[in-house]
Amino acid sequence: KAGVTQTPRYLIKTRGQQVTLSCSPISGHRSVSWYQQTPGQGLQFLFEYFSETQRNKGNFPGRFSGRQFSNSRSEMNVSTLELGDSALYLCASSVRPGLAGEQFFGPGTRLTVL
Amino acid sequence: AQSVTQPDIHITVSEGASLELRCNYSYGATPYLFWYVQSPGQGLQLLLKYFSGDTLVQGIKGFEAEFKRSQSSFNLRKPSVHWSDAAEYFCAVGAMYTGNQFYFGTGTSLTVIP
């Protein structure tokens, strides 16, 4: 069974631009969560989606948004990029939402904002 | 407020030696506890998890962890470290009342000396 895939793997943007990252969960997994990983802040929860609905959201500004499609694939969007948005963005999928399900992580998308 | 502390930023051990990585948490109720490992350029892989029951849990790759409620700790152990264990290790906690989201520690980087 294929794992969680994230595209693109690397991305370079400039301040003020917007970016869309994609995550394809493991087949049969309907829950997708997003995390931001930076050297200074570590791993921080962004949001979780299940059945196309946002179930939970972390403490990030409104510039960070996401959505989930009917095939469980998810995208996250960051508008008006800032230098501090440079990070590794990780997507995780699970069969069930929340902590009841074991999360499987993708390799991440490395975003660099110049 | 919820928090997860991994006191050791970096640990170096010799191959074949035993290993203990520390994790302390602050939560209002019994949390769900996890240990993940991240190799360079990779996503996170679940090593083990604790939800309830036996406080000593066995994981993959020969790792185990012990939940100690009185100390609010969930330390990860391995009796004999292999060179391939060199990686970043993250402790994560969550509880139903936090909205089913994970809080991660800042990670412990493990170096294994031949």
pLDDT digit string, tens, across residues A31-58: 999 999 998 888 999 999 999 999 888 8
Q: Does A93 touch chain B (CB under 8 A)?
A: no
Handedness of CA B1, B7, B9, B13 (dihedral sign): negative
**Measured between alpha carbons, how far is A102 from A89 in angstroms, rounded to an integer?**
19
Return the pLDDT at B99. Answer: 56
User: Mean per-residue pLDDT for B78-98?
Assistant: 88
**Measured between alpha carbons, how far is A105 from B101 in angstroms, rounded to an integer?**
14
**Measured between alpha carbons, how far is B113 from B97 in angstroms, rounded to an integer?**
42
Picking from A45, A48, A60, A94 by the largest number of B CB atoms within 10 A of its own CB, the best residue to mutate is A45
Which of A85-89, A101-105, B109-113 has the weakest average pLDDT? A101-105
Return the pLDDT at A39. Answer: 86
pLDDT digit string, tens, across residues B29-84: 778 899 999 998 788 999 999 988 889 999 999 999 999 999 999 999 999 999 99
User: Mean per-residue pLDDT for B72-101?
Assistant: 87
**Residue A56 is nearest to which of B95, B100, B105, comparing CB atoms?**
B100
User: Mean per-residue pLDDT for A71-82?
Assistant: 97
Identity of the residue numbered A107: P
Q: In chain B, what residues touch A92 (CB-CB under 8 Å)?
A: 43-44
* A97–B104 C-beta distance less than 8 A: no
pLDDT band at A85 (very low <50, low <70, confident <90, very high): very high
Q: In chain A, what residues touch B95 (CB-CB under 8 Å)?
A: 99
* B42–A102 C-beta distance less than 8 A: no
**pLDDT(B97) > 60:** no
